[in-house]
Structure 1
């Protein structure tokens, strides 16, 4: 048997004798299995609830009675964001951003009903998911199992006897890396088995699955190398443990919590009240469609009359009020889109700053990789908002067009006792309107979004490995 195998076997034997470590490992496996089961069950329950509410919302919208189309514009419609198959492994920002939207005319609403807003503050630290266990708990277990791997040999004076028996420094470190690497593999195996179960659902894509598996493989391998590196540069096991715990606290707990606060302070983001006030101010400046002397809408009226070759709106072959509604919706939507773009740009710059801080924290990098590949990051939330707004605008304009074509201007402006009945259109028109269907990106796009995080993890691993090799070569002369 090679010296590397002998050293690895001896290291594993020492780990097995550590009852605390064995119990901790068993608890980690149990915690991972609980996380897989609960996260998968929660995801399926949430998906079922959202689908049921979406069906109820569509049924309520389709079963409206005969109505004036503009009343349907203000009646509105609820839509719900469906979860992707990998959201059970890493829900990402979904619990924070909300999962439903109310669509109505003349307004652009935001998503509501995030899980965090309806749960205790404990959920803000991290949900019990397989991703959370691998990102936070697994490195801590590896630290307690491997902190003394090299420092213990130096502390006991057994490092040089090992070398005198023919084992080189490289072989000693390689054996210990192999032992701790095997423990890391076994620690991550239940989560990966759960991930394979989750990824086996319909709709799961191969490239994002591979990106997530590779990301967590690099992350755990990095912790193995970092633990051996710190253990090799310290002379006492206690010092190695304290240094590794400090590193874990900063890299896994502190930086991921501080980075968003730093980004928010550096790149301010207008809150909902400020945005609403600014939008209301700009809406007043845009003009009033009910004012015949308003410059913009007076010019719009002239252009409509010229297009149809008539002198009065009463002579138009279509309902002028419907055309006016379409023009007003176009203008207000452009205003909403401008403010939404400003908000999205600010949040994108905040996320870029967090990713920059992620160069100092592999935990941020693996989290970004996991969420991007699962489609549960900010870009995924933004896709939902953009598709929801495109659907809202199309829905409202279809209703405005229905008013222009199915309701006469004479009936629309009449005020007699029977006018309200004549203004209504058949309820069958609501069922002809298309429903909302959220379109997930293709697997290439999701994998490409995970690539920056993978590169950061690979860079960390390369630097840590080079440092470990350098320290290993100096073990024999220290």
Structure 2
């Protein structure tokens, strides 16, 4: 072990003498630190804004005067998606999706105000977050720092001298790995401190923060093994650097960009216009509650009259208009839910197709782990939309029920008598988002973690084989 540490110390000394390497490492540490602070500040500001707006719209809804309940149905309400504390580390798909949802009767609106739609096109290439720094920039710096680790010894002719002095190839490679791993650990430090601060601020997120830290540590270890492996295999430092730059370009930049495009081409989603047309067509086929001769609502009226044992809607103990509103809301909500399930099923099929590319680009698996743990992936976004839709349906049906129970058929036709007390909708619109249980999140990221483990095992095996090959080449 003494020889291994001596090799690692000598490698570190060479790195410190290289001004470009020192400058690059210092810049990356500075960038990681700035990314952590700015991302945390932006997340806090965004969350505060959303909480303030949510409080404001809740108060405005509660402060509405005495009204007809159906007017409140069309008045609607806003809900804002809360931010997970770990979103400060990895923003995931949040910049591309909306965070504000308008809830109203008979309609299911999409979330609006995604950051990408309100910012320059540069945002599409990645935000400055700790995750971006570690996933994209850190591997590139590792390639520059370690590409010559073993190849340099071969080029200078010192490899044979070291072997002649009794140094084994395994000790040499282990020392080079240790030195580069120390540099990788230094790169991880700002992000690890940021995750620790998030965990201290929100102790419930500690297991997920630890999962993110371990995943990125595995990612940097993977690149450490890869860099030393290529340097061990290459005959010249220049060849090793070119091979590593090509691997970084293809594995970190090209494939993660290309895979979603291929998935979208293989499993295309309908456009917004196509979906709107299909929904409008199906809504028209459901029936028209304003048409007394509509087959569905004519049958609905017959069933209601039979249930209460009367022959006219005027004789019902409840307001028939409110019952019609409840039935119409039920039909349209079932339709909206069906289209929503189909859309998310297609998107999840695309994600499964993209995940297949993790066998040639492990950063895809890493991003899946990071976004899932940070609560910024598709599943978290879907969970928000589904809970918001459930809240919308409950809210609208509550208002429709007020129309059915608090207003009579006769009073509903008189504008002066068709108002009910504003006390009925106090607290009715409050929305509380429930994040995914931690156990479910950890279960979802387990297969992706296995992909990273498989990559580490494969590279470690290749490293052992390259070390034996190095021994044979010296004989």
TM bucket by the smaller chain? over 0.9
What is residue 167 of structure 1 aligned with on the other side? 167
Matches within 5 A, 1:446-457: 446-457=441-452
* Number of the residue aligned with 2:232: 232
Secondary structure at the residue paired with 1:469? helix
1:425 aligned to 403, 408, 420, which one? 420
Note the C-alpha offset of 1:429.
1.2
Partner of 1:408: 408
Shift of 1:196: 1.0
The CA distance in 2 between the partners of 1:449 and 1:371, in whole Å, is 11
CA distance in 1, matches of 2:92, 2:416: 50
Change (3 A) 1:351 1:84: same
Counterpart mapping for 1:436-451 below 5 A: 436-451=431-446
Residues of 2 paired with 1:212 and 1:398: CA distance? 42
For residues 100 and 34 of structure 2, the distance between their equivalents in structure 1, rounded to whole angstroms, comes to 28
Runs of 4+ in 1 over 6 A off after TM superposition: none
Asked if 1:463 is matched to 2:458, the reply is yes
Structure 1 pair 134–252 and aligned structure 2 pair: CA distance change class (3 A): same
Contact 2:77 2:429 (8 Å CA) reproduced: no
- How many equivalent pairs are there? 473
Distance 2:237 2:432 in 1: 57
Helix, strand or coil for the counterpart of 2:368?
A: helix
SS at match of 1:421: coil
C-alpha contact (below 8 Å) 1:98/1:112 kept by paired residues:
yes
CA contact (8 A) 2:61 2:77 kept: yes
Cα 1:247–1:98 change in 2 (3 A) is same
1:311 is aligned to 311
Structure 1 contact 86–204 (Cα < 8 Å) conserved: no
1:71-470 alignment runs, 5 A limit: 71-202=71-202, 204-412=204-412, 414=413, 419-470=414-465
CA distance in 2, matches of 1:198, 1:81: 19
Q: Which residue in the other structure is 1:50 paired with?
A: 50
Cα deviation 1:164-210 (Å, max 9, x = unaligned) = 11111111100100000011001111111112112222364232122
- Post-superposition offset of 1:6: 1.0
Q: Distance in 2 between matches of 1:302 and 1:17?
A: 90
Shift of 1:288: 1.2
Give SS of 2:102's match. Answer: strand
Equivalent-residue separation in structure 2 for 1:72 and 1:309 (angstroms): 31
- Residue 359 (structure 1) shift: 2.0
Ranges in structure 2 where 5+ consecutive residues have no aligned partner: none
1:206 touches 1:443 (CA, 8 Å); kept in 2? no
Contact map agreement 1:374 1:446 (CA 8 A) in 2: no
Kept in 2: contact 1:151–1:237 (CA 8 A): yes
Q: Distance in 1 between matches of 2:117 and 2:168?
A: 57
Change over 3 Å in CA distance of 1:288–1:40 after alignment to 2: same
Q: In the alignment, does 2:31 pair up with 1:31?
A: yes
**Structure 2 residue matching 1:200: 3-state secondary structure:** helix
Residue 453 of structure 1 aligns to a residue in which SS? helix
Counterpart Cα distance in 2 of 1:268 and 1:450: 25
CA distance in 2: counterparts of 1:44 and 1:320, whole angstroms: 48
TM-score by length of 1: 0.97
- What root-mean-square deviation, in Å, do the aligned CA atoms of Structure 1 and Structure 2 show? 1.0
Name the SS of the counterpart of 1:102 in structure 2. Answer: strand
More deviation, 242-251/436-445? 436-445
* Alpha-carbon contact 1:7-1:176 (below 8 Å) kept: yes
Gaps of 5+ in 1: none
Work out whether residues 89 and 198 of structure 1, in 8 Å CA contact, stay in contact via their aligned partners in 2. Answer: no
Give, in angstroms, the shift of residue 312 of structure 1: 0.8
1:103 aligns to what SS in structure 2? strand
